[in-house]
Amino acid sequence: MSDPLHKDQDLRADDGPIEESQKTSETPLLNVSELRSGYGPIEVLKGISLHVNAGEIVTVIGANGAGKTTTLMTVSGCVKIRGGDITFDGRSLTGIPAHEIVKLGMAQSPEGRKIFPRLTVLENLQMGAFTVRDQVRVREDIEKAYHYFPILKDRQKQLGGTLSGGEQQMLAIARALMIRPKLLLLDEPSLGLAPMIVLKIFEVIRELNREGMSVLLVEQNARLALKIANRGYVMETGSITATAPAQELLNDPRIQAAYLGE
Amino acid sequence: MTGLTGLVFASADTQFFINICITGLTTGFLYALIALGYTMVYGIVELINFAHGDLFMLGCFFALTLGGAVMALTGSPMATIALMLLATPVFCAFLNMLVDLTVYKALRTAPKLAPLVSAIGVSFVFMNIGLFWGGSQDVNFPGLIEERNLLAEDSGLQFTTTDLLVILVTAPVMIGLTIFVKSTSLGKAMRATAQNPVAAQLMGINVNRVIAATFLIGGALAGIASVIYGLKIKTIGYQMGFQNGLYAFTAAVLGGIGNIPGAVLGAIVIGMVYSLASAYIDARWATAMVFVILITILVFRPTGLLGARTREKV
Ligand SMILES: Nc1ncnc2c1ncn2[C@@H]1O[C@H](COP(=O)(O)OP(=O)(O)O)[C@@H](O)[C@H]1O
Ligand SMILES: [Mg+2]
């Protein structure tokens, strides 16, 4: 049996909005320009620019330590912007704290999942809806999360820390969906998971995108990410070194040699 | 004849034992209020707030000063107690939050040793304020509640009015806190922040506000303990924060630092051990016994009695 992830099947939605993304007149949902950030004396991001248009799946690929997580954490407001700017939905995010950015409609499923180990699955989902006042809507969204990931319903009374890695990843994504985000940031959702589970998760990501959610996906598994994405960026030691439609990156011999193991 | 005497003695022994347990329990409840402040703050910012015992001490002086004024004005012990129970927690809550905002907050991302040493500094500052406020000698707290045994004299058992006060005030507070942390939005945000502050931010939780709320609540609990302590023990002094704080902190560690029911359980165990050791071994050895028990339990359960045991899968 062939590995389902390595079939050359195109995971993209048929109505992929690639053409749309090339329209320059449209203002992107997320626009990162000349962004610099880091930790203490270490400058990690050395002036990166990227954008996500509404309806797109955009991926950032790159080796371990390239700065992908730092990028997402800076976009989410957990790491401070040191230079350049980020705009989301037409608003500058400079100086806006992380918890306010969530309210603008941006959610993240962070690297390492970071679920709450001593809260139940249900409570984890409720935390995801912390900024949502309407409890009817919260209950609906929990049901919707269970529809995407039925295993979470079976586990709803269990503590987050007792879930398997794959279940924790599903919970992390489901939790991020609770605010009905316009933009979903995903950091290494495939890391350490069995291929079947990865496939399941990526199918949900594609389904969410088809329903209109924009996605910024960070992956070390470049092949997988490029297959699902409309466009991709290649990141090396804090800089963007290449960007192209995902299909082009997949066919680029240099990318194949460096990131696709060919 | 010998048999009968034996029976009487046995029964006197049992009465003695029960009385010791009642003392242990009320002491434990008092420590629990202080221990909760240590454990909640530790749970959320991983800071051992060494100044917490001295905050409790300042609460005692605040209650004393306020109580004296209200008593002089109204002459009503009930009104005085009620006002002390309302105002002292507010005083301690805001003082605790103020220290967090002015001292610890700036050190949030600094190495853990920096806020710890600062907390020791704050502890000394508080002690000096206490020294100015109350003088170097122990001060008597007004006996606003008549100390009276509530049980029949011939039962040989002792459960006094101040014992009842301790239970009446602390039990609802602890039950209320448990419900608050378990079911309210802020309570859940506190647990989430304690378990993963970065993820909490990503959920839209204002972590700084949650931390401030934790200092407020921890301070308020210490303030309640201050009033109860004054009314029950009736002697306060500027150095009282150190020892009481140490017992309460030990209780928090024993129960599993960061764990709320654990702090209550740890405090009851410590109150019991202290009381039983004082009665049956020697009062001078009671403190040593408390720590013998602590170390023994930690050897077998390093995370404390109710400390987190869930493996966190990465
Ligand atoms: N909290 C941190 N403090 C200091 N340096 C960090 C921290 N997180 C990441 N780094 C450093 O920043 C660089 C980029 O890391 P990261 O953004 O995690 O890369 P990636 O997600 O692409 O693997 C690495 O050199 C890493 O060591
Ligand atoms: Mg990373």
- Residue B237 belongs to domain with CATH number: 1.10.3470
Same domain, A257 and A172: no
Instruction: State the closest ligand 1 atom to the C-alpha of A235, by its place in the atom list counted from 1.
Output: 22
Same domain, A66 and A162: no
Mean pLDDT of A222-240: 96
DSSP state string for B189-214 = HHHHHHH-HHHHHHTT--HHHHHHHH
Q: For helices B286-300 and B240-255, what crossing angle results, to 10°?
A: 30
Instruction: State the closest ligand 1 atom to the C-alpha of A70, by its place in the atom list counted from 1.
Output: 17
When pLDDT is cut at 50, 70 and 90, the band that residue A8 belongs to is very low
CB-based contacts of B139: which residues, under 8 Å, 6+ apart?
B64, B235, B236, B237
The single residue listed with the structure tokens 């008593």 is B71
Of A44, A45, A46, A188, the residue with max ligand 1 atoms within 8 A of its CB, to mutate for a pocket test, comes to A44
Within-domain flag for A228: yes
Same domain, A41 and A65: yes
* B111 touches A: beta carbon within 8 Å: no
Ligand 1 within 6 A of CB of A110: no
Within-domain flag for B9: no
- Tell me the pLDDT tens digit for each residue of A238-262: 999 999 999 999 999 999 999 888 6
The amino acid at A237: T
- How many domains does chain B divide into? 1
* A78 touches B: beta carbon within 8 Å: yes
Compute the nearest-CA separation of B206 from chain A (Å): 6
Same domain, A92 and A118: no
Residue B309 is predicted with a pLDDT of 54
Same domain, A36 and A53: yes
Nearest to B67 by CA among B90, B49, B83: B83
Same domain, A125 and A146: yes
Same domain, A71 and A99: yes
* A222 touches B: beta carbon within 8 Å: no
Last residue of a domain, one of A179, A202, A226: A179
Ligand 1 within 6 A of CB of A66: yes
When pLDDT is cut at 50, 70 and 90, the band that residue B10 belongs to is low
Within-domain flag for A12: no
Residue A20 is predicted with a pLDDT of 45
Within-domain flag for A78: yes
Within-domain flag for B293: yes
Given a cut of 70, whether residue B152 has pLDDT beyond it is: yes
Count contacts between A and B (CB, < 8 Å): 82
- How many domains does chain A divide into? 2
Within-domain flag for B259: yes
Mean pLDDT of B54-72: 97
Distance CA A193, CA A5 (A): 12
Same domain, A53 and A142: no
Of the ranges A19-23, A169-173, B1-5, B112-116, the best mean pLDDT one: A169-173
Within-domain flag for A18: no
Compute the nearest-CA separation of B193 from chain A (Å): 9
Residues in chain A: 262
- Tell me the pLDDT tens digit for each residue of A14-73: 444 444 444 445 789 999 999 999 999 999 999 999 999 999 999 999 999 999 999 999
Last residue of a domain, one of A135, A162, A179: A179
Within-domain flag for B152: no
Same domain, A189 and A90: yes
3-state class of A55 per DSSP?
coil
3-state class of A242 per DSSP?
strand
* A159 touches B: beta carbon within 8 Å: yes
DSSP state string for B24-59 = HHHHHHHHHHHHHHHHHHHHHH----TTHHHHHHHH
Query: A97 and B206: CB-CB below 8 Å?
Result: yes
Calculate the alpha carbon distances from B97 to B34, B55, B89, B216, B237 in Å.
16, 11, 12, 6, 23
pTM (2 d.p.)? 0.88
Within-domain flag for B252: yes
Q: For helices B260-280 and B286-300, what crossing angle results, to 10°?
A: 140
When pLDDT is cut at 50, 70 and 90, the band that residue A134 belongs to is very high
Distance CA A37, CA A18 (A): 30
Mean pLDDT of B22-37: 95
Share of chain A above pLDDT 90, in %: 87
Within-domain flag for B313: no
Within-domain flag for A5: no
- Tell me the pLDDT tens digit for each residue of A194-209: 999 999 999 999 999 9
Within-domain flag for A14: no
Same domain, A67 and A96: yes
Indicate the residue of A77, A117, A164 with minimum beta-carbon distance to B195: A117
Domain that holds residue B201: 15-142+157-300
- Output the CA torsion sign for B209, B214, B217, B223: negative
Within-domain flag for B170: yes
Q: Which residues of A touch B306 (CB under 8 A)?
A: none
Given a cut of 70, whether residue B5 has pLDDT beyond it is: no
Calculate the alpha carbon distances from A182 to A71, A105, B148, B240 in Å.
18, 5, 67, 56
Query: A130 and B199: CB-CB below 8 Å?
Result: no
Residue B314 is predicted with a pLDDT of 31
Same domain, A160 and A262: no
Given a cut of 90, whether residue B52 has pLDDT beyond it is: yes
The overall average pLDDT reported for chain A is 91
Ligand 1 within 6 A of CB of A44: yes
* A138 touches B: beta carbon within 8 Å: no
Query: A117 and B202: CB-CB below 8 Å?
Result: no
Same domain, A190 and A99: yes
Mean pLDDT of A80-106: 97
Closest-CA residue of A relative to B192 is A116
Domain that holds residue A133: 113-179
CB-based contacts of A86: which residues, under 8 Å, 6+ apart?
A30, A31, A32, A33, A35, A74, A75, A92, A93, A94
Calculate the alpha carbon distances from A219 to A53, A64, A72, A254 in Å.
19, 10, 12, 18
Within-domain flag for A212: yes
Within-domain flag for B5: no
Query: B312 and A103: CB-CB below 8 Å?
Result: no
Residue A19 is predicted with a pLDDT of 47
Residue B153 is predicted with a pLDDT of 82
Within-domain flag for A6: no
- The dihedrals phi and psi of B156, each to the nearest 5 degrees, come to 75, 0
Contact between B53 and B241 (Cβ < 8 Å): yes
Last residue of a domain, one of A134, A155, A179: A179
